[in-house]
Structure formats: C-alpha cells, structure tokens
C-alpha cells in the first residue's frame, strides 16, 4: 500500500540513468510547477535565501551536484543535509567578509578617536594663524621692526636708517627747488614721479595715482610793492623775495589785483584795532593796511583769511602783513635771517566749498612781506608819543607825510585755459582680515621751493621697514594704506577729493584709524601729539619701546638726569638704568606729562586728519616734533624758504636725524599695534569721559552768558514731542507739567552718566572677547570657538562703526530739524557733533577767539548758547542727545 506521504512528495528523479545535472534540473522544474505553498516547497526551504536576491548560477549547481553522494542504483543520498551544509559554508564565507570590513571600520574609528584624544588644545587665534601660515607673533613683529629701524642699524648695503633719512631729505630738497612753488602736481611733475617711483620700489605694495582737476586754485606768479610820492615817483621798491630763492610773496587762493592808495598801520588787524582807528579819526576805507604778526603767547588766533575778511568789512583796498621778529629777551641767539623770512599762507581753509564766496569776495591784493623788506615803509610811520594814543602799538597808524602812497600788485595765473591738477599717490598692503584698514598720510604740497618734505622721508622709511618684515614672513592682519596727499595747504583739497572718488576710497571698507605725519614733521624738539581719546592707551604704551639717546641735544635741553626720576618711574621705565638711552615715553613725560591734545578742531585744521575725524568719523592721530623757541637752537618760520634741509642740519634742529628716526619707529609701532590686534584696539571709556568733560565745559561757559534766565523757560512741545530726549523723560511726577529748558539739561546729564557706566562695561566685554580668542580648547569643545568667532566679528563690526553714530545725517532728518537750508545739497562737509571748527564772524571781538580749540567742541550747541539763540540751542540739545543715545544703543 502506498505511503500517503510519499504520494504527496514530488518525484525529483524519474530516470535512474539520468546524469546528476539532469536530475537536479528535473527537481527544480518539478518544484517550480507544484501548487503547494512556500512552506511546503522543498526548493524554497533550501534555496529561499536566493530567490529574492542572488539566484545560484549554473556553475553553483554543478559544484553542488558533483559533491553529492549516490547509492548503487545511482540515487543521491542525504541530499537535503548536504545542500544545507553547503549553504551554511557559503553564508559563513560571506559573513567572514562582512566581519572583516566591520573590523576595519571599527579600527579606523578607534585610530581617529585615539588621535583625537591626544590632540593638543588650541585657541581660535592660534588656529587662525596656522590656517594663514602666520609664523610671526605680535611681539616678534614689533621686536623685529625695532631692530630693523634701530639707531645706527645698517642694512645689507651698509646704509643706516639715519643715512637713508638724510639722503631722502636731500633728494626732496633738490626736487622742490625745481619749482618756485609746489602747491599741486602741476607745479612739479618731477616730484610726483619721484614719490611714485619710491613707492613702487617696494614690491609688496600696490601703488596707484589718482588725478583730479581743480579750477579755482590759482598759480602765483609775482607781486610788487612800491613806496611812492604824490608825483608818482618811486621812493622805494621792495624786494619781495627771500635771499637766493625765486618764490614770490603771495597768499594762495588770491587773484591778480592792483591798487595805489595811502596806507595805515592797523596793528594786528583785529576788529578792535579798526574800531580804535575810527575812534581816533583814522578812516581805513580805501587804504592799504599794514598788519603785524607777533610771536609766542602774544600771538592772536586769527588766520590770514579771517584778517582779510575783517579788513574787507572796513573797506580797505589792500593788505600787507609782516612777521615781527622776536625780541632778544624771547631768544638769546637772535637769528638775523629771520628778518628776511616771508611767512606765506592760504586764503582757503578746510571745510570751504570749491566756490566759497568769502574767498572770491576778497577782491583786493594781499601779500606777506619780510620784516627786513617792509622796514623802510614802517620807518615812514610816526612813533607813538601821546600817553593815551596808540601807546601799545609799535607804530602810529599814519605816515609822517600825507603825500606818501603805496602801490601794491599781485599777479596770478587763473588757469582759464586748463584746470590745475591734484595728484594723490596711494600705496596699499593687503591684509588677511578685510574688516577695516589703517591709513597713514603725509602732505606733499608746500608753499615754497626749499621744503625737505620730512614727513615723506619718514613715511618712506616706515614702508621700507614693513617691506623687510614682509620678506621675513609678516602678513598684516588688516590692510595698510600709505597716502601722499596733494593740496593739503589749500583747504585739504587732496583728501576731500579722495572721499568723493569711489575708485580710490571704498565706502564699504571702514577705516580703523588714520595717522597723519605732519608735512614739516621735525621743526624742533617738542613731541606734539593730537589724538582721539580712544587711542590714548596705544599712543602712550608704544612710546615706552622707542629709545631716545641721553646725550642728544634735545634730551639734554630737558635738563633730565637719573636722580630726577621718581622710584615708580624707574620701575616702569625699561631704559631707566640705561646710561645711553631712555624711552620716548619718559622724554614725553618730562616734557609735558605725556599730554595728548583731544581738541580735534582748530588745532588740526591744516592737517588731513581733520577730514577723517570730522567728515568720516574715524579716530585720528596727528604727530610731529614741533618747534619750541625756548629750547630749540632756532625759530621755525612756517611756509618760508627759511625752513629747509640746511636749516634742519646747520641749525642743529636734527642734524643727526635721531628725531626723524624716532618718528619712524613710533609711527611704525603704532601702525603694527593697530593692525595686529584681532579686536580693534579702541578704548571707549576715555573717549566718553572726554565727551562728558567737553559737555560740562560748554554748559559752564554758557551759564556765564545766559545765567539762569533759561532754566524755567518753557520748551515748545512741537520741537521735542517725537524726540528721544522727551520720550526718555519720566512723566510720572507731574505728567501735565510743561517741559522747561532745565528738564532737557537734566535728562542730557542722565544720558551722559549712563554712557560713562556703559562704556566701562563695553570696554571690559571687548577685553574679554580678546582674551577668549587666545583661550585653549580641546577638540570636543570646538563649538566654543564658533561662539568666540561670532563675538569677535560682532565686536569689530561695532567698534569700526561706533563713531558713525556721532555724525549728522540727512537720511535721519538731522539737517531739516536743525533748520539748515534744504536745497538738495544740505549736508555739511564736517558732520561730527562733538568736533568742529570754531565759529568766525567779522563782528566778533578778539575775546571770542581766545581758546579757539576749546570752542571747537560741541560747536553747534556752543555757538547757539553763546549767541543766546534759545530755539536753536534746544534743537542742538535734542540732536546731540539722539546721537549719543545711538552710541549707547550700539554699546549695549
């Protein structure tokens, strides 16, 4: 009887004589055609893992079949167990491969983790310097620069820094001598080409020139001054040239004029002098007036432009001004050459527009003359005799004879055929960080033909030192720009055109600081620094690393010896026990206690730093060694051919070039300090503290004029109802009480106090951000570096734009609110609310011009208060409050 189980099982092998391959194929076909489910399918049991994926190929079946076992009749035995064992072996081989790759991956992970666990801790600053291959630290760069520019340090050609400076001064003197005047590029293209070629000698610098046309700058040709009698006979023809020079006597910006008239001596040419003349029955109308310019503390603070405008208001027909020589008790060694010097100047001043009507309205001839050449004319004047009549004047106003006349002529080329050209030469070093640049500038123009351009000689030595540093591997963190300005002496024309030229000035790249080296950089031994208070700490700190020889003439003039040091000074002074040298810091301290002038208005109005500070809102520094008649061996006559290379050397102002070298090292270190700080090195607390002092000084001075009469005066609500100062007031005590002037002052004081507190916090936060940049972290704390990088970028962004909050803006409606003229071009050139230029009026008495530096801060508000203009004073309080509050917001 047949087995039911067997009946249900498919017959796999139907022929006993079939080959193993055929029997296996028959079995597969039979298994495929069966209607049983997968669980009962024999092929699925053995080969199920292959159906969905890799189906065995013919070779696999052959291989299995040849290894099968058979009985005597040719039937395969133990087939199921054998196939199962074979599949197991195959799966085992596959598992071995997977296990191998798993072990490899795990090993790789282990190696990575092992290495990470032993990685050194690094800081963001260190990572940054490694990324950009920066091998030199800040200390290395400063030390190397001091070594490269050290006193008597020779280069590979055996030339010391002092010799190189001397060579440059000599070359600039020869080039300047090729033209009688050097007011702009037109006057001396050889000088322009020489400066450009010197800039291009440094391969790491990218040098470009930018040319601008200027139509209103006239070219002086000649001048004439003759003393004549009523018969038109020439009694005296003045020589209006300095000895051995062909530079005419002129005031830049003048025009061709001629006049013949009687003359009057009007002392210093101030309003009181003219009024005194009129009071004593002397009418200046139609007369040629003779003015004197005095020395030292007795000098009045009026420019030639202002004196000319005062003279014009009294109807004069011509103006002559001479510089009175110093008295012998002012200077022991009186230099006779001073009598022959002519002090030139410009009728243009910073901030004037190209078509300034006040300059063009000076429609009479005006010239400077030397004391020696005007003396024959002065001798025709009476000496004061009456006890109460002109007793304080050097001369009486009228000549001894009414038949004497002066004929005065000036000759200028008005350039009607072609405009004058200004040329700025700019050389730039690329920086790694492009968040802000440091600019160093020097004026190239001069009034004379003998100027040695000491500022340019110093700048070239700094560039040479930087070039050597870059050969050693230095890569500046921030861009550095060196600029040779044109037209500085005529109202800062070069830098003014620079700001208006998008090709040379990138408005999207902030300026971290501007350093100006005075064109006449060394005229004496007095180290003079004008600087924004936010940079005071840097200016003082780097002076400690610049050496000054103790045996130098200028150091000895301070009468300093080792015993004069206090104990704490000896501790701070790295040079204190050095018998050969001391530091510039202690030289400066002994001179005037490290004084830095923070009144960045009238005191720097002949420097391009004025444009950067008051137009652009950039912290500035202005540097030079100024003349001190009490200490120096000779007296400096500005804009005179008397100032020359020979004067600097022969009069022993700086015959060994040590003062020039000190400025090279000082400005170079200052630039490196500003460039190499990851966080912009500005301190806001000293700046805000200075602003507070300025404000209180202005209000105290105003109280002497307005007294208490404005304290309870009501302020019209429409003037302040949308202003920050009104919104910030606390209305809770008396909500319906009208706002009076004193309320505005109180609220302003609250804001100033808040600024002081917040600036301390802000400086401390920036110091913390800088410290975090050098804080080391393990690799698994790398996310902290991302946090510090974000803080670093944000801190610099704010610092570089912080002072912009103090600029007036037409977009903010500041000019409309202040009721300035709105004619489509209502913006003032100088826009800073804290710094400005003191106000001038021909109606002001001389007392208004005392302490002009102090009157160049908060000028808008100060002028309104002193003019007793209540409405405008309120407006300026509102605007100043709004700007300072913007500063406070940016710091928070």
CATH assignment at residue 396: 3.50.30.30
Q: How far is CA 78 from CA 32, 46, 68, 239, in A?
A: 22, 13, 8, 137
Which H or E element spans position 499?
helix 493-499
**What is the Cα–Cα distance from 193 to 812, expressed in whole angstroms?**
44
8 A C-beta contact, residue 373 and residue 238: yes
- pLDDT higher at 414 or 611: 611
**What is the Cα–Cα distance from 569 to 837, expressed in whole angstroms?**
38
Q: And the tokens for 118?
A: 């032993």
Q: And the tokens for 115?
A: 């290495």
Closest by CA to 617, choosing from 597, 596, 600, is 600
**Tell me: the pLDDT tens digits for 802-844?**
999 999 998 889 999 997 654 445 678 999 999 999 999 999 8
**What is the Cα–Cα distance from 67 to 70, expressed in whole angstroms?**
10
Whether residues 258 and 176 share a domain: the answer is no
Whether residues 625 and 704 share a domain: the answer is no
Whether residues 491 and 611 share a domain: the answer is yes
Count of domains observed in the chain: 4
Residue 406 lies in a domain: yes
DSSP structure string for 399-416: BS-TT-EEEEEEEEE--S
Whether residues 534 and 494 share a domain: the answer is yes
8 A C-beta contact, residue 543 and residue 666: yes
Residue 231 lies in a domain: yes
pLDDT at 768: 97
Q: And the tokens for 705?
A: 């004029």
pLDDT at 72: 54
**What is the Cα–Cα distance from 331 to 324, expressed in whole angstroms?**
13
**Tell me: the pLDDT tens digits for 593-636?**
999 999 999 999 999 999 999 999 999 999 999 999 888 888 89
Closest by CA to 20, choosing from 79, 77, 83, 76, is 76
Residue 397 lies in a domain: yes
Cα 526 to the chain's mean position, in Å?
A: 23
Residue 360 lies in a domain: yes
pLDDT at 14: 42
**What is the Cα–Cα distance from 264 to 320, expressed in whole angstroms?**
10
pLDDT surpasses 50 at 65: no
Confidence tier at 265 by pLDDT (50, 70, 90): very high
Q: And the tokens for 809?
A: 């803006």
**What is the Cα–Cα distance from 142 to 665, expressed in whole angstroms?**
10
Residue 500 neighbours by CB under 8 Å, 6+ apart? none
8 A C-beta contact, residue 648 and residue 522: yes
Among the candidates 379, 413, 447, a domain finishes at 413
8 A C-beta contact, residue 406 and residue 317: no
Whether residues 435 and 343 share a domain: the answer is no
Whether residues 72 and 201 share a domain: the answer is no
Q: Which domain holds residue 81?
A: 4-91
Confidence tier at 553 by pLDDT (50, 70, 90): confident
pLDDT surpasses 90 at 846: no
The DSSP letter of residue 216 is: S
8 A C-beta contact, residue 794 and residue 766: no
Bridge partners of 485? 443
Whether residues 185 and 323 share a domain: the answer is no
**What is the Cα–Cα distance from 765 to 70, expressed in whole angstroms?**
91
**Tell me: the pLDDT tens digits for 475-533?**
999 999 999 999 999 999 999 999 999 999 999 999 999 999 999 999 999 999 999 99
Residue 63 lies in a domain: yes
> CA triplet 730, 734, 736: central angle to 5 degrees?
105
Residue 112 lies in a domain: no
Whether residues 391 and 476 share a domain: the answer is no
Cα radius of gyration rounded to whole Å, the chain: 43
Residue 107 lies in a domain: no
Q: What is the largest CA-CA distance in the chain?
A: 172
DSSP structure string for 577-609: T-SSEEEHHHHHHHHHSS--B---SGGGTTSTH
């Amino acid at each position: 009887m047949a087995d039911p189980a067997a009946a249900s099982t498919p017959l796999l092998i139907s022929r006993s004589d079939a080959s193993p391959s055929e029997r296996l194929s028959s079995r597969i076909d039979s298994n495929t055609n069966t209607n049983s489910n997968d669980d009962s399918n024999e092929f699925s049991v053995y080969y199920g893992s292959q159906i969905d994926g890799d189906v065995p190929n013919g070779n696999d079946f052959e291989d299995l079949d040849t290894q099968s076992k058979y009985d005597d009749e040719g039937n395969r035995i133990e087939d199921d167990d054998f196939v199962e064992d074979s599949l197991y072996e195959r799966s085992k081989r596959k598992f071995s491969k997977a296990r191998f790759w798993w072990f490899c991956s795990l090993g790789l992970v282990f190696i990575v983790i092992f290495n990470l666990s032993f990685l050194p801790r690094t800081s963001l600053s260190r990572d940054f310097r490694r990324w950009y291959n920066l091998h030199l630290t800040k200390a290395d760069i400063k030390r190397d620069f001091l070594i490269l520019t050290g006193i008597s340090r020779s280069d590979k050609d055996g030339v010391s820094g002092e010799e190189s400076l001397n060579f440059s001064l000599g070359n600039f003197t020869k080039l300047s001598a090729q033209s009688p005047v050097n007011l702009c590029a037109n006057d001396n293209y050889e000088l322009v080409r020489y400066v450009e070629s010197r800039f291009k000698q440094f391969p790491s610098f990218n040098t470009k020139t930018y040319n601008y046309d200027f139509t209103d700058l006239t070219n002086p040709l000649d001048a004439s001054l003759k003393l004549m009698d009523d018969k038109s006979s020439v009694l005296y023809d003045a020589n209006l040239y300095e000895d051995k020079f062909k530079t005419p006597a002129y005031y830049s910006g003048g025009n061709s004029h001629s006049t013949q008239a009687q003359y009057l001596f009007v002392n210093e040419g101030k309003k009181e002098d003219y009024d005194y003349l009129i009071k004593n029955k002397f009418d200046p109308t139609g007369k040629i007036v003779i003015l004197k310019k005095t020395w030292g503390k007795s000098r009045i603070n009026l420019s030639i432009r202002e004196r000319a405008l005062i003279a014009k208001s009294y109807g004069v027909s011509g103006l002559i001004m001479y510089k009175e020589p110093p008295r012998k008790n002012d200077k022991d060694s009186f230099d006779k050459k001073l009598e022959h010097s002519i002090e030139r100047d410009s009728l243009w001043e910073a901030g004037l527009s190209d078509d300034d009507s006040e300059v063009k309205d000076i429609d009479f001839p005006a010239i400077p003359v030397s004391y020696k050449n005007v003396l024959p004319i002065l001798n025709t004047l009476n000496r004061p005799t009456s006890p109460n009549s002109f007793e304080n004047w050097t001369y009486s106003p009228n000549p001894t004879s009414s038949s004497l006349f002066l004929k005065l002529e000036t000759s200028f080329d008005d350039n009607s055929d072609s405009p004058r050209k200004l040329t700025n030469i700019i050389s730039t070093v690329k920086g790694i960080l492009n968040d802000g640049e440091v600019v160093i500038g020097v004026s190239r123009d001069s009034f004379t033909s003998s100027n040695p351009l000491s500022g340019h000689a110093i700048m070239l030595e700094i560039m040479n030192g930087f070039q050597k540093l870059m050969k050693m591997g230095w890569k500046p963190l921030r861009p550095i720009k060196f600029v040779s300005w044109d037209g500085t002496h005529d109202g800062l024309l070069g830098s003014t055109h620079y700001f208006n030229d998008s090709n040379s000035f990138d408005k999207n790249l902030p300026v971290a600081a501007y350093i100006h080296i005075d064109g006449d950089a060394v005229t004496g031994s007095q180290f003079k620094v004008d600087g924004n208070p936010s940079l005071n700490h840097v200016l003082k700190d780097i002076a400690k690393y610049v050496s000054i020889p103790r045996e130098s003439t200028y150091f000895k003039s301070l009468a300093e010896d080792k015993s004069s040091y206090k104990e704490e000074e000896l501790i701070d002074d790295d040079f204190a026990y050095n018998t050969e040298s001391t530091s510039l810091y202690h030289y400066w301290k002994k001179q005037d206690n490290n004084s830095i002038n923070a009144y960045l208005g009238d005191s720097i109005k002949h420097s391009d730093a004025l444009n950067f500070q008051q137009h652009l809102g950039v912290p500035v520094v202005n540097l030079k060694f100024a003349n001190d008649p009490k200490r120096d061996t000779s007296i400096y006559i500005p804009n005179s051919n008397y100032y020359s290379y020979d004067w600097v050397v022969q009069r022993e102002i700086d015959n060994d070039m040590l003062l020039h070298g000190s400025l090279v090292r000082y400005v170079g270190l200052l630039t490196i300090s500003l460039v190499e700080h990851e966080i912009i090195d500005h301190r806001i607390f000293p700046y805000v503290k200075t602003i507070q002092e300025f404000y209180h000084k202005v209000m105290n001075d105003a109280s002497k004029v307005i007294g208490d009469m404005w304290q309870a005066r009501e302020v019209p609500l429409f003037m302040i109802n949308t202003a920050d100062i009104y919104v910030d007031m606390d209305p809770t005590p008396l909500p319906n009480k009208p706002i009076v002037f004193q309320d505005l002052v109180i609220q302003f004081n609250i804001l100033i106090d808040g600024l002081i507190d917040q600036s301390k916090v802000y400086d401390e936060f920036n110091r913390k951000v800088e410290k975090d940049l050098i804080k080391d972290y393990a690799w698994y704390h790398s996310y902290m570096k991302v946090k510090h990088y974000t803080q670093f970028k944000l801190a610099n962004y704010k610092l570089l734009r912080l002072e912009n909050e103090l600029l007036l803006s037409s977009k903010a409606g500041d000019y409309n609110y202040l009721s300035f003229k709105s004619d489509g071009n209502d913006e003032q050139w100088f826009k800073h609310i804290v710094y400005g230029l003191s106000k001038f009026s021909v109606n002001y008495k001389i007392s208004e011009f005392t302490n002009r530096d102090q009157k160049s801060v908060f000028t808008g508000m100060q002028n309104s208060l002193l003019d007793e203009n209540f409405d405008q004073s309120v407006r300026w309080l509102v605007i100043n409050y709004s700007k300072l509050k913007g500063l406070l917001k940016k710091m928070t």
